[in-house]
């Protein structure tokens, strides 16, 4: 049996989940024995193979039209989609902005912040992605495996990936189930 | 007894209990959120759903009573689904994102419940309705976004404290916990007892002083006694890194059964007076750090030189062990002309009454739990002994009638069925009027041979009240089998009036309870440390202040004393002007005994390790005895119990 192909990407998150992934340290060598790590923000390849991968992993929630596109592409190209971390699973910290109107959030970020000099400007280039309400990945595309945690510990990520590599769906419970 | 079957096992359980209580007694776990063992069942969260054979739908275990031959299932696929669905609904209502909540990671009952069912995600996303955060209160932040509307805080405020500040407004998804009629908590009738925080299952009630300081679930617990007043409430002190994280009421403590007031819960966390960590001696006009040996020898030589002209004072918040040594060293060893406790004279009216009566005449605080009526005479249960006040307040829920007789405005007057506001100084006449009224109603349980009608008319005239007021009061007091009279002997300050109250208690079959002042004021009285401060020219003064804040009166009284020795935990105006300062433990570091207002001897346990060279008050006094070459031998327990007390001492 050939090694399962894995692709990852990050959306509206802080990259912390990928950092936690790197925290598995030397076991990454074991993991590379088990899986074929394809595209990822931490590898040179940035997009999952058009021919498809076995496991797609998304960190972060979906907070604009660009994230929507990345999520749809990943879903289309992977067999098992994993939501990694609280932002992907629940919306997480970025979702705090959902309690406000998007206009108010943009004004606060680009005009009212203490570090903004002159009068500030809300970016409006048509090339830019359009901000939306922050959503969990599962609100946009179907998710097969949820790994909550802010971030999930390296231990949990290693467990989940090694289960997936061996063709099993990881079951997170007891001390492996953490939302914080 | 009822025979019930839970998960195919048959058990005998008491009648009248709920399915949840039965399961808990049998050690069968049923998840809950809105339920709290010390509050009445509410049935709001639907997490405790169980299947009962013969019932059309799942039932809430917390509210359904057991009945004979009931067959109950606590775990199956249908129950699991229902519980998960209930949890999804709760999570969808408000902001329950864990990473930025201070109770996440062990302290949150909602998160723990989700973990228990293996919830990896929310099937329903939140509806993003922002709720306000009420940070108007000095000790408590009300974070509505984390609220699950379990109403534990509201039930605690009503059932345990009787203050009824918290309630809800609106219905459905707009339901909202409010203070009074929707005012900020900090401007409400809240008494800052913090019971709402103690029972909150999520991060909706935040304790300002302990938030984000450490996990309660990982803290060390020490059970000890509050030294804030003479009630002696049991504390559950949570400690991390030799620091108090928070103070909870000990649910198992016989006196307070979990309830605390702000004095026990928040005041200690607010205390930021600098500590004294090493002995100090005044040299060239300035206090300078020194060794214990030098400080003790300087103190001892001054005390010995001027023993005939010495004034020695101790805080009545010191342990029985320390107060005993204090008396031993200064009264018996040094023969100091004035050996007493701060405010010790407040115990004199009660002690003099006892002297006349010769036997205990007061009862137990627990009698308040099944009191049928409560008479409060000149006792202010809002500015001190607040938990006693909570017991009075919450008794209203049981339909208890409250009668208040006070010459001042009593803080509980609004709750009283009858309030007798009498002319200043007419305490005796009020009690005599009440006795006459009880006799007039023909309800006296003991002989009353005086002319009740004439006495009643007399009392009315003297007090400025109507005879009808007395009759109404007497009627309410005698309505049930178990009246309780709470009186403040120091405020009444009249031995004849107190003796009249003792007689009134006999006439009505009432239990008498009185606040005693400080945590060990009763011990001070037993050790005869209740002399009033006498003005005079003292050459040397010794004050075992402990961790108390010295009153302005005390500081002024000692202003001109040529040589001042202070044994204290924290800096104050008194230590600043002292010639010798001996560093001692605070209440949280001390171990020793306290005798509460009802004669219950309780042991305080150390929660923290003291900094620097501080010693316990007992050890400091023992060292001083050595330096003075006086005896410190003897058994405090024997001395404590050999004299009769106003209460029965349970050693």
CB of B161 within 8 A of CB of B191? yes
State pLDDT tens for residues B38-84: 999 999 999 999 999 999 999 999 999 999 999 999 999 999 999 99
Say whether both B527 and B568 belong to one domain. Answer: yes
Query: Residue B37's domain is classified under what CATH number?
Result: 3.10.20.740
Looking at the domain assignment, is residue A104 inside a domain? no
Average pLDDT, chain B: 96
**Does B105 sit within 8 Å of A180, measured CB to CB?**
yes
pLDDT of residue B265: 97
Domain residues for the domain of B391 are: 363-513
User: DSSP labels for B528-581?
Assistant: T--PPP-----SEEEEEEETPPPPHHHHHHTTT-SEEEEEESB--HHHHT-SEE
User: DSSP labels for B19-40?
Assistant: HHHHHHHTT-----SS--TTS-
For the residues B295-315, what does the mean pLDDT come to? 96
B99 in contact with A, Cβ within 8 Å: yes
Query: Residue B468's domain is classified under what CATH number?
Result: 3.40.228.10
**Does A180 sit within 8 Å of B111, measured CB to CB?**
yes
Looking at the domain assignment, is residue B453 inside a domain? yes
B111 in contact with A, Cβ within 8 Å: yes
H helices, E strands: number in chain A? 6, 7
| Residue in B557, B645, B588 with CA at minimum distance from that of residue B271 | B588
Q: Is the dihedral of CA A54, A55, A61, A64 positive or negative?
A: negative
Output b/e per residue, B414-445; b: 16+ Cβ within 10 A. ebbbbbbbbeeebbbbbbbbbbbbbbbeebbe
**Does A133 sit within 8 Å of B105, measured CB to CB?**
no
Say whether both B208 and B225 belong to one domain. Answer: yes
Give the model's confidence band at B283: pLDDT under 50 very low, under 70 low, under 90 confident, else very high.
very high
Looking at the domain assignment, is residue B505 inside a domain? yes
Instruction: Out of A86, A98, A173, name the one closest to residue B99 (CB).
Output: A86
For the residues B438-453, what does the mean pLDDT come to? 96
Say whether both B575 and B617 belong to one domain. Answer: yes
Task: Give me the number of domains chain B comprises.
Answer: 4
A89 CA: distance to closest CA in chain B (Å): 6
A44 CA: distance to closest CA in chain B (Å): 31
- 440-459 in B: which are within 8 Å (CB) of A? none
Q: Which residues contact B519 (CB under 8 A, 6 or more apart)?
A: B225, B226, B227, B228, B229, B230, B232, B316, B317, B594, B596
- Judge whether residue B112 has pLDDT over 80: yes
Instruction: Out of B97, B111, B145, name the one closest to residue A92 (CB).
Output: B97
Query: Residue B129's domain is classified under what CATH number?
Result: 3.30.70.20
Distances (CA, A) of B164 to A180, B179, B258, B331, B396: 35, 9, 18, 49, 11
**Helical axes B617-628 vs B292-305, angle rounded to 10°:** 60
Domain residues for the domain of A80 are: 5-96+133-176
- Tokens standing for residue B454: 């004439």
B115: chain A residues, CB-CB within 8 Å: 174, 177-179
For the residues B113-117, what does the mean pLDDT come to? 94
CB of B149 within 8 A of CB of B381? no
Can you tell me the distance from the alpha carbon of B573 to that of B345, in angstroms, rounded to the nearest whole number? 23
**Does B122 sit within 8 Å of A150, measured CB to CB?**
no
- Tokens standing for residue B341: 């406790």
Can you tell me the distance from the alpha carbon of B617 to that of B621, in angstroms, rounded to the nearest whole number? 6
pLDDT of residue B534: 86
Say whether both B494 and B368 belong to one domain. Answer: yes
CB of B483 within 8 A of CB of B371? yes
A138 CA: distance to closest CA in chain B (Å): 9
Distances (CA, A) of B319 to B330, B448, B585, B586: 16, 43, 11, 11
pTM: 0.94
CB of B239 within 8 A of CB of B76? no
CB of B410 within 8 A of CB of B418? no
**CA angle, A14 as apex, A11 and A17 as ends, to 5°?**
85
Can you tell me the distance from the alpha carbon of B93 to that of B433, in angstroms, rounded to the nearest whole number? 59
Side-chain half-sphere of B328: how many Cα atoms within 13 Å?
A: 23
**Does A139 sit within 8 Å of B121, measured CB to CB?**
no
Say whether both B251 and B302 belong to one domain. Answer: no
**Does A147 sit within 8 Å of B121, measured CB to CB?**
no
Can you tell me the distance from the alpha carbon of B377 to that of A8, in angstroms, rounded to the nearest whole number? 75
**Does B97 sit within 8 Å of A93, measured CB to CB?**
yes
pLDDT of residue A40: 94
Q: What percent of chain B has pLDDT over 70?
A: 100
CB of B355 within 8 A of CB of B646? no
State pLDDT tens for residues B593-620: 999 999 999 999 999 999 999 999 999 9
CB of B476 within 8 A of CB of B401? yes
Give the model's confidence band at B449: pLDDT under 50 very low, under 70 low, under 90 confident, else very high.
very high
Can you tell me the distance from the alpha carbon of B541 to that of B538, in angstroms, rounded to the nearest whole number? 7
**Helical axes B617-628 vs B320-327, angle rounded to 10°:** 20
Query: Residue A154's domain is classified under what CATH number?
Result: 3.40.50.700
**Helical axes B427-440 vs B452-463, angle rounded to 10°:** 150
Looking at the domain assignment, is residue B352 inside a domain? no
Say whether both B165 and B235 belong to one domain. Answer: yes
Say whether both B530 and B594 belong to one domain. Answer: yes
Q: Is the dihedral of CA B330, B331, B337, B341 positive or negative?
A: positive
- Judge whether residue B535 has pLDDT over 90: no
ipTM of the complex: 0.93
Can you tell me the distance from the alpha carbon of B472 to that of B469, in angstroms, rounded to the nearest whole number? 5
Say whether both B412 and B492 belong to one domain. Answer: yes
Say whether both B559 and B613 belong to one domain. Answer: yes
pLDDT of residue B11: 97
Q: Which of B120, B124, B126, B218 to substitute to test the interface with A, most A CBs within 10 Å?
A: B120
Looking at the domain assignment, is residue B90 inside a domain? no
CB of B329 within 8 A of CB of B625? yes
DSSP A2: P
**Does B128 sit within 8 Å of A177, measured CB to CB?**
no
- What are the DSSP E strand ranges found in B291-381? 310-314, 338-341, 373-377
Looking at the domain assignment, is residue B314 inside a domain? yes
State pLDDT tens for residues B357-399: 999 999 999 999 999 999 999 999 999 999 999 999 999 999 9
State pLDDT tens for residues B159-213: 999 999 999 999 988 999 999 999 999 999 999 999 999 999 999 999 999 999 9
- Tokens standing for residue B361: 């005449």
CB of B523 within 8 A of CB of B547? no
- Judge whether residue B545 has pLDDT over 70: yes
pLDDT of residue B537: 84
**Does B128 sit within 8 Å of A133, measured CB to CB?**
yes
pLDDT of residue A42: 87
A132: chain B residues, CB-CB within 8 Å: none
The sheet carrying B511-513 orders its strands as B418-421, B401-406, B373-377, B483-487, B511-513
Q: Name the closest residue on chain B to residue A88, using Cα atoms.
A: B121
Say whether both B506 and B388 belong to one domain. Answer: yes
Can you tell me the distance from the alpha carbon of B529 to that of B533, in angstroms, rounded to the nearest whole number? 11
pLDDT of residue B487: 98
pLDDT of residue A1: 56
**Does B111 sit within 8 Å of A138, measured CB to CB?**
no
- 463-502 in B: which are within 8 Å (CB) of A? none
Instruction: Out of A91, A100, A177, name the one closest to residue B120 (CB).
Output: A177
| Chain centre to alpha carbon of residue B207 | 18
More confident residue, B99 or B280: B280
A136: chain B residues, CB-CB within 8 Å: 121-122, 125
Task: Give me the number of domains chain A comprises.
Answer: 1
Say whether both B481 and B373 belong to one domain. Answer: yes
**Does A91 sit within 8 Å of B99, measured CB to CB?**
no
State pLDDT tens for residues B255-277: 999 999 999 999 999 999 999 99
B125 in contact with A, Cβ within 8 Å: yes
Of B246, B270, B294, which closes a domain?
A: B270
- What are the DSSP E strand ranges found in chain A? 5-10, 36-37, 53-59, 62-64, 78-84, 131-135, 145-147
Instruction: Out of B98, B119, B126, name the one closest to residue A180 (CB).
Output: B98
Query: Residue B625's domain is classified under what CATH number?
Result: 3.40.50.740
For the residues B463-478, what does the mean pLDDT come to? 97
B114: chain A residues, CB-CB within 8 Å: 179
CB of B513 within 8 A of CB of B368? yes
For the residues B133-150, what does the mean pLDDT come to? 97
CB of B104 within 8 A of CB of A179? yes
| Residue in B20, B60, B40 with CA at minimum distance from that of residue B155 | B40
State pLDDT tens for residues B214-225: 999 999 999 999
Do strands B483-487 and B373-377 pair parallel, antiparallel, or not at all (unpaired)?
Answer: parallel
B54 in contact with A, Cβ within 8 Å: no
Looking at the domain assignment, is residue B358 inside a domain? no
More confident residue, A114 or A138: A138
Looking at the domain assignment, is residue B249 inside a domain? yes
**Does A86 sit within 8 Å of B121, measured CB to CB?**
no
Can you tell me the distance from the alpha carbon of B221 to that of B176, in angstroms, rounded to the nearest whole number? 33
A89: chain B residues, CB-CB within 8 Å: 120-121
Residue recorded with tokens 């992907």 = A88
CB of B613 within 8 A of CB of B278? yes
- Tokens standing for residue B587: 């209440």
Distances (CA, A) of B589 to A52, B31, B266: 66, 38, 17
Contact residues of A toward B, CB < 8 A: 83, 86, 89-93, 95-96, 98-100, 133, 135-136, 138-139, 143, 146-148, 150, 171-174, 177-180
Looking at the domain assignment, is residue A111 inside a domain? no
Of B244, B270, B296, which closes a domain?
A: B270
Looking at the domain assignment, is residue A19 inside a domain? yes
**Does B120 sit within 8 Å of A172, measured CB to CB?**
yes
Give the model's confidence band at A118: pLDDT under 50 very low, under 70 low, under 90 confident, else very high.
confident
Of B38, B58, B75, which closes a domain?
A: B75
Looking at the domain assignment, is residue A117 inside a domain? no
DSSP B425: T
Say whether both B630 and B555 belong to one domain. Answer: yes
- Judge whether residue B33 has pLDDT over 60: yes
Helix (H) or strand (E) holding B179: strand B176-179
Instruction: Out of A133, A171, A179, name the one closest to residue B104 (CB).
Output: A179
**Does A172 sit within 8 Å of B118, measured CB to CB?**
yes
């Amino acid at each position: 049996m050939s090694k399962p192909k894995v692709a990852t990407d990050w959306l509206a998150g802080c990259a912390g989940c990928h950092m936690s992934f790197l925290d598995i340290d030397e076991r990454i060598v074991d993991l590379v024995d088990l899986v074929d790590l394809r595209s990822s923000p931490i590898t040179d390849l940035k997009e999952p193979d058009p021919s498809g991968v076995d496991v797609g992993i998304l960190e972060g929630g979906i907070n604009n039209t660009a994230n929507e596109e990345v999520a749809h592409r990943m879903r289309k190209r992977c067999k098992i989609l994993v939501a990694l971390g609280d932002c992907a699973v629940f919306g997480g910290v970025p979702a705090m902005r959902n309690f406000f109107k998007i206009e108010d959030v943009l004004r606060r970020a680009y005009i009212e912040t203490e570090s903004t000099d002159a009068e500030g400007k809300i970016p409006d280039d048509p090339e830019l992605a359009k901000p939306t309400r922050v959503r969990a990945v599962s609100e946009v595309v179907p998710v097969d495996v949820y790994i909550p945690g802010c971030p999930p510990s390296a231990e949990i990520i290693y467990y989940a990936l090694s289960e997936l590599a061996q063709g099993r769906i990881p079951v997170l419970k007891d001390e492996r189930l953490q939302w914080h | 007894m009822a025979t019930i079957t839970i998960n195919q096992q048959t058990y005998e359980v008491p009648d009248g209990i709920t399915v949840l209580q039965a399961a808990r007694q049998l050690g069968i776990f049923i998840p809950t959120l809105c339920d709290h063992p010390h509050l009445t069942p509410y049935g709001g969260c639907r997490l405790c759903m169980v299947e009962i054979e013969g019932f059309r739908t799942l039932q809430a275990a917390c509210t359904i009573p057991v009945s004979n031959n009931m067959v109950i299932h606590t775990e199956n696929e249908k129950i699991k689904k229902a519980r998960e669905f209930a949890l999804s609904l709760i999570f969808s209502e408000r902001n329950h994102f864990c990473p930025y909540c201070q109770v996440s990671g062990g302290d949150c009952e909602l998160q723990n419940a989700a973990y228990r069912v293996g919830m990896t995600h929310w099937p329903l996303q939140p509806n993003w309705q922002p709720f306000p955060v009420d940070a108007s209160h000095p000790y408590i932040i009300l974070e509505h976004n984390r609220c699950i509307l379990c109403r534990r805080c509201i039930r605690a405020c009503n059932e345990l404290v009787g203050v009824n500040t918290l309630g809800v407004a609106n219905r459905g998804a707009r339901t909202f916990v409010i203070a009074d009629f929707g005012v900020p908590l900090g401007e409400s009738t809240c008494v800052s007892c913090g019971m709402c925080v103690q029972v909150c299952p999520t991060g909706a009630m935040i304790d300002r002083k302990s938030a984000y300081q450490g996990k309660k679930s990982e803290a060390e617990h020490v059970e000890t006694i509050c030294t804030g007043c003479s009630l002696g409430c049991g504390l559950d002190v949570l400690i991390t890194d030799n620091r108090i994280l928070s103070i909870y009421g000990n649910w198992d403590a016989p006196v307070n059964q979990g309830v605390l007031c702000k004095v026990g819960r928040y005041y200690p966390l607010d205390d930021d007076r600098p500590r004294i960590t090493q002995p100090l001696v005044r040299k060239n006009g300035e206090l300078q750090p020194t060794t214990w040996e030098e400080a003790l020898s300087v103190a001892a030589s001054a005390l010995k030189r001027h023993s005939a002209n010495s004034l020695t004072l101790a805080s009545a918040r010191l342990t029985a062990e320390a107060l005993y040594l204090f008396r031993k060293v200064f009264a018996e060893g040094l023969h100091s002309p004035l050996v007493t406790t701060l405010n010790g004279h407040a115990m004199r009216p009660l002690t003099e009454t006892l002297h006349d009566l010769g036997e205990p005449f007061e009862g137990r605080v627990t009698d308040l739990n099944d009191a049928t009526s409560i008479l409060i005479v000149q006792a202010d249960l809002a500015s001190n002994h607040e938990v006693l006040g909570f017991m009075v307040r919450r008794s209203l829920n049981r339909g208890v009638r409250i009668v208040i007789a006070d010459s001042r405005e009593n803080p509980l007057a609004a709750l009283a069925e009858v309030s007798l506001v009498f002319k200043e100084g007419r305490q005796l006449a009020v009690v005599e009027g009440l006795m006459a009224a009880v006799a007039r109603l023909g309800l006296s349980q003991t002989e009353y041979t005086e002319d009740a009608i004439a006495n009643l008319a007399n009392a009315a005239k003297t007090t400025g009240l109507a005879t009808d007021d007395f009759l109404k009061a007497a009627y309410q007091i005698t309505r049930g089998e178990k009246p309780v009279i709470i009186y403040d002997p120091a405020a009444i300050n009249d031995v004849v009036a107190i003796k009249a109250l003792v007689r009134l208690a006999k006439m009505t079959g009432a239990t008498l309870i009185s606040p005693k002042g400080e945590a060990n004021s009763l011990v001070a009285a037993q050790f005869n440390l209740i002399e009033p401060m006498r003005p005079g020219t003292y050459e040397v003064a010794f004050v075992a202040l402990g961790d108390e804040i010295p009153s302005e009166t005390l500081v002024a009284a000692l202003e001109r004393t040529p040589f001042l020795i202070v044994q204290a935990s924290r800096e104050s105006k008194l230590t600043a002007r002292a010639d010798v300062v001996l560093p001692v433990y605070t209440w949280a570091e001390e171990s020793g005994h306290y005798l509460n207002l009802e004669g219950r001897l309780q042991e305080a346990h150390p929660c923290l390790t003291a900094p620097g060279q501080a010693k316990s008050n007992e050890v400091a006094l023992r060292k001083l005895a050595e330096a003075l070459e006086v005896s410190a031998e003897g058994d405090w327990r024997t001395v404590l119990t050999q004299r009769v007390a106003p209460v029965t001492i349970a050693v």
